[in-house]
A and B are shown apart, each in its own frame.
Chain A
Amino acid sequence: MTTTHPESDVILEVKDLQKHFPTRTSGIIRRASDPVKAVDGISFTVRRGETLGLVGESGCGKSTAGRTMLQLLEPTGGSIHYNGRDITGAHGNDLRKLRTEMQMVFQDPYGSLNPRQTIGTIVAAPFDIQGITPKGGVKAEVQSLMERVGLNPEHYNRYPHEFSGGQRQRIGIARAVALRPKLIVCDEPVSALDVSIQAQVVNLLEDLQAEYDLTYVFVAHDLSVIRHISDRVAVMYLGKFMEVADRDELYSNPLHPYTQALLSAVPIPDPRKENKRERILLKGDLPSPINPPSGCVFHTRCPRFREELSDTERKRCTTEIPLVQKIGDHEVACHFAGPSKVEVL
């Protein structure tokens, strides 16, 4: 295993990460049976200061991946190196110390704030937990944080229900940046917000990133938001990475048939363009992550498999798990990766 050094530009290195959730058999005596493979062997690096977008449809494992890389969930397999240090399975004090450097912003600004605590208490919690007293005292620091994220510092003693959805997400962000972490995993931070508010929060995240030298892993299902905020994008399907590439490269020249279908499905707010577009429609539903399809997990819904391949080629898709291969600047897990025949965007 290669080790990275603290001074290198890689902040997080994830190798073959797995997160399986156990299930049990039915019957009078219940044994463990096939687990739900929410994350099933993903490897990637996150470079210091960049934003890695993690995109996919519901059930693809992107949120689980985000939580597992922060050790909010214990990985079933694989390793996570933070600044060159193996943090896989860290717990107790080690984990608590790591939390000063790695934080999370959650999707649901209602569910992730304790309704019985004031905003001041919520934003001050990281200081309490870590036993850190910032210069000038906790209250002054919390109020300056509130101001920084665009909240009125006088609302220090108010409760979450007195704020709108967008403001609540700002509270969650203030809490996440309180300890000046290096890495923040943002799990669908804007998907519960209205369009006009979404842009405010996205801009805030970008400003904070520049100001505090933050690295983001940005988990979302909205391909437009991902395109805007990410430097690199990883596309996930059934617990695995399908394609990873730099943002503009991925959107202008997607090589994996799943990426192509995903991009082509997004309606564009431009009627003339929209009317001319040819859509790659995926057939059927997402297979179960308990019994994922053999070979390439995407073959059951793959338009290329269905329309373009010969029987011998298909055999390969149904039996052989595609390894991640480098094609140009893309990493693609497909035996027959290549540009789409129709223009996707």
Chain B
Amino acid sequence: MSTWVPTEGTSEALLSVRDLKVTFPTEDGLVKAVDGLTFDLNAGETLGIVGESGSGKSVTSQAIMGLHRGTRAKVEGSIGFEGRDLLKLEDEELRVMRGRDIAMIFQDPLSALHPYYTVGNQIVEAYKIHHGKTSKSAARAHVIDMLERVGIPNPQKRIDQYPHEFSGGMRQRAMIAMALVNNPRLVIADEPTTALDVTVQAQILDLLMDLQKEMNSAIIIITHDLGVVAEMADKIMVMYGGKAVEGGTADQTFYSAEHPYTWGLLQSMPRIDRERLERLQPIPGNPPSLISPPSGCAFHPRCAYRDDENLGCSTIVPEFDVQDWHPVRCLIPAPKRKAIFDTEIRTPSS
């Protein structure tokens, strides 16, 4: 990766999102859920979007799928997918792409699957809608094959069972089978393992990586778990209050993080692979309001390194320079950030 995104107009990425903004009108005011996101994603690549609740990570994925159409949300910017701007497509043009070119895996497979239809019915439906000419029996055979590929034992029998007859892990496998049944080029996985136990999570992450290699799909994995992105992601975008605050390769994020919020995340997490620290170092305070975010840098009220006098953290809005190879939305000069990371944040094992 040279720069975060190439110079204007030259992107040949599978997905290129430019200055994406999603706002919702509410009684209390305008919620700026996503506020100017820019990133690229190539075929076969995995982007991890990391953030806490309210950071805008899930809204981003729904905007890419066009799921905000017909609601009161306003989506601006552009979402280029194979050279076409998804935001400018007619509803019908976008519908045809959903599930075929871009598919989604949701957090809780129990509520994301319809309780009244068999798993097979729902996956066959996902296949048939984009393969109208295929016969029912051929579609069914294809789905059985797909269930087998995602590791569901005895698929001939399981295809006719209902979601509630599946265990949590098997349900998420079925959900993955449904998402991948049309061989999509982009898969968005929104917290795909958050509802699962850790031993099942390990199975599911393995499965996703295997299938990605097989199909050469691009994956966006949305999660709050830094461990999951460490395992899955090639690049990582850290979001805070609807904005990207740091972007880079997985190595950059973990071994030379430069944003104080990323530092906060790395330090506040207890580590399973390390001897216990005396104390965790939490990020003080609470996530920002999306209706009236703090002035200047949205993170400044919680930032241990803020310097209002010299840097203007509470007044100047920092930029996210997408022409940088490791963009960081922070007013602290880069050399100083690197020095802070090296002396205070880096731990012996990283």
Residues of A within 8 A of B (CB): 57-58, 164, 166-167, 194-200, 202-203, 206, 221, 223-225, 227-229, 247-248, 251, 261-274, 279, 281-282, 285-286, 345
Residue from B170, B277, B280 whose CB has the most chain A CB atoms within 10 Å: B280
Q: Does B269 contact A (CB under 8 A)?
A: yes
Within 8 A of A (CB), among B198-244: 198-203, 205-206, 224-231
Known A195-B52, A196-B264: A228·B230 in contact at CB below 8 Å:
no
Residues of B within 8 A of A (CB): 52-53, 167-170, 197-203, 205-206, 224-231, 250-251, 254-255, 264-266, 268-273, 275-277, 279-284, 286-287, 349-350
Known A269-B226, A270-B349, A285-B169: A196·B203 in contact at CB below 8 Å:
no
Chain A nearest CB from B101 CB (Å) reads 29
Chain A nearest CB from B298 CB (Å) reads 14
* A190 closest partner in B (C-beta): B270
User: Are the C-beta atoms of A206 and B268 separated by less than 8 Å?
Assistant: no
Distance, CA A271 to CA B236, complexed state (A): 12
* A231 closest partner in B (C-beta): B276
User: Are the C-beta atoms of A224 and B272 separated by less than 8 Å?
Assistant: yes
A-B interface, 7 closest residue pairs, ranked by CB to CB distance from nearest: A267-B227, A199-B282, A228-B270, A269-B226, A199-B268, A196-B283, A265-B202
Given contacts A194-B224, A267-B201, A269-B230, 6 further A-B contacts (CB under 8 A): A198-B282, A199-B268, A200-B282, A266-B272, A267-B230, A269-B254
Query: Quick one: which of B170, B203, B205, B277 contacts A267, CB cutoff 8 A?
Result: B205
Contacts of B276 in A (CB 8 A): 227-228, 247-248
Distance, CA A199 to CA B279, complexed state (A): 9
Residue from B255, B272, B349 whose CB has the most chain A CB atoms within 10 Å: B272
Chain A nearest CB from B233 CB (Å) reads 8
Contacts of A266 in B (CB 8 A): 198, 227, 272
Known A199-B283, A203-B279: A270·B273 in contact at CB below 8 Å:
yes
User: Are the C-beta atoms of A194 and B206 separated by less than 8 Å?
Assistant: no
User: Are the C-beta atoms of B224 and A203 separated by less than 8 Å?
Assistant: no
Known A269-B230, A269-B269, A271-B254: A57·B197 in contact at CB below 8 Å:
yes
* A58 closest partner in B (C-beta): B197
Distance, CA A270 to CA B279, complexed state (A): 20
Query: Quick one: which of B230, B250, B271, B282 contacts A224, CB cutoff 8 A?
Result: B271
Distance, CA A194 to CA B269, complexed state (A): 10
Residue from B170, B224, B251, B269 whose CB has the most chain A CB atoms within 10 Å: B269
Contacts of B231 in A (CB 8 A): 267, 271, 274
Query: Quick one: which of A228, A281, A286 contacts B203, CB cutoff 8 A?
Result: A281
User: Are the C-beta atoms of B199 and A265 separated by less than 8 Å?
Assistant: yes
User: Are the C-beta atoms of B265 and A195 separated by less than 8 Å?
Assistant: yes
Chain A nearest CB from B84 CB (Å) reads 33
Distance, CA A45 to CA B349, complexed state (A): 35
Distance, CA A270 to CA B255, complexed state (A): 8
Residue from A199, A203, A263 whose CB has the most chain B CB atoms within 10 Å: A199
